[in-house]
Amino acid sequence: MNLFSLKDAEAFVATGKKEFRHSRETLLTPGARDCLTEAGIKVVFDASAAPAPAASPSAPAATKAGGGSPGEFERLFNSPEARSLKEQICDIGRRLWMREYTDGNGGNISCRLGNYFICTPTGVSKGFLKPEMLCLVDMAGNQLAGTWKRTSEINTHMAIYSVVPEAKAVVHAHPVHATAYAIAGLEPPPCLIPEIEVFVGRVPVAPYRTPGSAEMAEVISPLAPKHQSIMMGNHGLICWGTSVEDAYFKMEITDAYCRTLVVASHLPSNRTSIPGDKLQELLDLKKKLGLPDSREGLKPEQLCGCDPWEMISDRPKACATTAQPAGPDTSKLTNAELEGLVQAVTNQILETLQKQKS
Ligand SMILES: [Zn+2]
């Protein structure tokens, strides 16, 4: 039996043919079927059709890569291990929705199953997932089993799995407070609460890219080896973990931290923070727990950067090293420096105008 995947369907669409004929020997993945019908191609079952469809160069490759056949994929997808992972994904989906981390059909969850991945379908509220809605995909994002179409953001998950072997699960959602930081383009400051320092660490901001695009994957993958929780600029938050629940915990801790900062920024404050040497103690504790941290090797005086309260004020100064959006980086300038720069540019313009007049 031949597997006809989403990639094959896309190749078939590119041929411009209007009808796709297949026999019982060809198994269409749900993603492939959707792709064909969405492109207006008539899918016809024809017992006499050739077993291998015209445009399926990658189908055997997909099966060869994992050494599986459609029957084997079905068996794997219905194995006790897969059933347990599906239950975990549905449980975490409910928790995401209950905590208002997802809205509408937003968010997605995936986890490793051997060389393959189980992921959530597209177009479904994460609060009401059922195990039978989940999908099996390969590393290229091709759907191998499951009757619902896989999430369109699977690429971004793969960007993490491909560079972090210890990542067993990925959770992406739009928790309001972390997303507020993501749209402000601000990395939450360090040295205010131990919990995030020990269990998450720095949360960098990746620049905005179209959700699900190859460009999105490109900006996430360099950050993933050192960061389990990553802000997706003007979008949301993505976290990886050693289990589905661990990935979810990273999200919960990150959002709780951002929410606390938002509330604290409205209070009159003595602007207290965790000193660098005390943060070092937390990082030592983290090391003992076997949790890596991107700040390893920094001196205590380098750990907190500038006053974290400056970074949660009305006009924050980003003084930690973050993945900056494209364009000139003026975020590291103080307000006085920024005003000076604006003044210098204004003076230059006025000078030029005066020269033109005279
Ligand atoms: Zn999203």
Taking ligand 1, which is a single-atom ion, which protein residues have CB atoms under 5 Å away?
A: 236
CA 237 to centroid of ligand 1, rounded, Å:
8
Task: State in Å: Cα 205 to ligand 1 middle.
Answer: 14
The angle formed by the CA atoms of residues 132, 41 and 135, to the nearest 5 degrees, is 15
pLDDT band, very low/low/confident/very high, at 290 (cuts 50, 70, 90): confident
Ordered by start, the domain boundaries in the chain are: 2-67, 153-264
Alpha helices (runs of H) in the chain, residue ranges in sequence order? 6-14, 30-38, 58-66, 70-77, 80-98, 154-161, 176-184, 194-199, 214-220, 244-264, 276-288, 300-303, 308-311, 335-357
Per-residue pLDDT band at 297 (split at 50, 70, 90): confident
Residue 153 annotated to the active site: yes
| Distance from Cα 102 to the centre of ligand 1, integer Å | 9
- Compute the distance from residue 232 Cα to the ligand 1 centre, in Å: 9
Q: From the CA of 107, how far away is ligand 1's center (Å)?
A: 5
Centre of ligand 1 to C-alpha 4, Å, is 28
Superfamily for 153-264? Class II aldolase/adducin N-terminal domain (3.40.225.10)
Q: Is the pTM higher than 0.85?
A: no
Of 100, 153, 245, 310, catalytic: 153
| 286 backbone φψ class: left, alpha, beta (φ>0; ψ -120 to 50) | alpha
Is pLDDT larger for residue 214 or for residue 316? Answer: 214
Q: Kindly tell me the sign of the dihedral angle through the C-alpha atoms of 253, 204, 175, 163.
A: negative
Residue 236 CA to ligand 1 centre (angstroms):
6
* Cβ 238 vs Cβ 172: under 8 Å: yes
| pLDDT of residue 268 exceeding 50 | yes
pLDDT given at position 263: 94
> In the prediction, which pLDDT does 247 show?
98
pLDDT at residue 133, rounded to an integer: 97
Residues across the chain: 358
Q: How far is the CA of 76 from the centre of ligand 1 (A)?
A: 28
**Mean pLDDT of all residues belonging to the chain:** 83
pLDDT at position 112, please? 98
